[in-house]
Amino acid sequence: MRDFTVFDVAYPTEAKQRVIVNTDAKNEADDQFAIVHAVLTPSFDLHGIIPAHFGTRKSATSMLDSHDETMLLLRLMGLEGEVRIADGAARAIPDESTPVDSPGSRLIVEEAMKDDDRPLHVAFYGPLTDMASALLLEPKIQDRDVRVIWIGGGAWPSGGREFNLSNDIHAANVVMKSRLEVWQVPRSTYRTMGVTYAELIEKVYPQGEIGKYLIEQLLEHNAKTRPEMEYRSLGDSPCIGIILDPECGKFSWRPAPTFDAQMHYIHTGQYRPIRVYENVNTRFIHEDLFAKLAQFIRRRSRNLDR
């Protein structure tokens, strides 16, 4: 795999952070930004991207839609074939003891069981289906150095309806009841990742084919769903920020909850603590993406000039 360093900043492999991205890429317009961000982050050792389902309400083929969107992004960046893609489950797990086997859940097991001193970060931009399936397929992974980073769940302490959780409540319960290390970014936190059209058009749109696509698909999505809006919350991007710098948000450790069918939190206090982010430094995250995109495009044009 090529080394996508930003200009001359290079990281030896053993110094990089191990990362797998799991993304319901086509569910709306924000996963795309967080996928590009992960790919362009030179301190990440990106082991692969797992396209995920996003239920059946928006599409009957949601995982395949996410697969196609991920491939499109890589193509627009000129990086097709450079990143491992392992499809996740096409649907939610049917109950808390039955995995949905997939290349994606196998990738998580494979990387979790590898002999490596570095923690493995598995970043979930959508439902936890493939994490729960990996755990049900190979329970030993919960005693490996794995960090599950999840964009999902309602506001603490009561919870309630939330999109990523709604797409697999059983999976979320499997993960919460396990011994896995979990860093949760709940809805009340990820919803604060707003960025305005003016800034996006100024900083992202001019950045090659990928910049143009990121903005066009976002504007198109908003026009269909929230035409009055002049911004979008890039709600999956906190994953990148807190892997880069776990202190880029305020967090606390709280006993893992479980979820009832209405997605309310059930606090029994019987499960190990998880790290819950109450806020994140949105500027740290957005500006990092804007700079990486600009440098990627500039570096590319410099290379083409040679």
Minimum CB distance to Ca ion, residue 27 (Å): 5
Rule CB under 5 A: choose which of 4, 124, 125, 156 binds Ca ion: 125
Minimum CB distance to Ca ion, residue 198 (Å): 24
Minimum CB distance to Ca ion, residue 33 (Å): 10
- What track of x and - describes contact with Ca ion for positions 217 through 246 (by CB under 5 A)? -------------------x----------
141: enclosing H helix or E strand: none
For residues 213 and 234, what is the distance between their CA atoms, to the nearest angstrom? 15
What single-letter DSSP state applies at residue 10? -
Q: Compute the residue count for the chain.
A: 306
Q: Which stretch binds Ca ion (CB under 5 A): 9-17, 18-26, 38-46, 250-258?
A: 18-26
Binding status of residue 150 toward Ca ion by CB under 5 A: no
For residues 189 and 234, what is the distance between their CA atoms, to the nearest angstrom? 11
| β-bridge partners, 148 | 122, 182
Residue tagged 């100024």 (tokens): 202
Minimum CB distance to Ca ion, residue 212 (Å): 21
Count of residues that interact with Ca ion, criterion CB under 5 A: 5
Q: Which is nearer to Ca ion, 181 or 236 (CB)?
A: 236
Binding status of residue 111 toward Ca ion by CB under 5 A: no
Residue pair 273/253 in contact (Cβ under 8 Å)? The answer is yes
Binding status of residue 51 toward Ca ion by CB under 5 A: no
Minimum CB distance to Ca ion, residue 150 (Å): 11
Binding status of residue 31 toward Ca ion by CB under 5 A: yes
Residue nearest to Ca ion (CB): 125
Q: Which is nearer to Ca ion, 127 or 257 (CB)?
A: 127
Minimum CB distance to Ca ion, residue 236 (Å): 5
DSSP secondary structure letters along 238-265: HHHHHHH-TTSS-EEEEEPPEE-TT-BE
Q: Which is nearer to Ca ion, 126 or 159 (CB)?
A: 126
Q: Based on the number of CB atoms within 10 Å of its own CB, is 252 exposed (0-12), middle (13-18) or buried (19 or more)?
A: exposed
Joined together, the tokens standing for residue 119 give 């923690």
- Residue in 271, 251, 268, 252 with CA at minimum distance from that of residue 260: 268
Catalog residues that contact Ca ion under the rule CB under 5 A.
24, 31, 125-126, 236
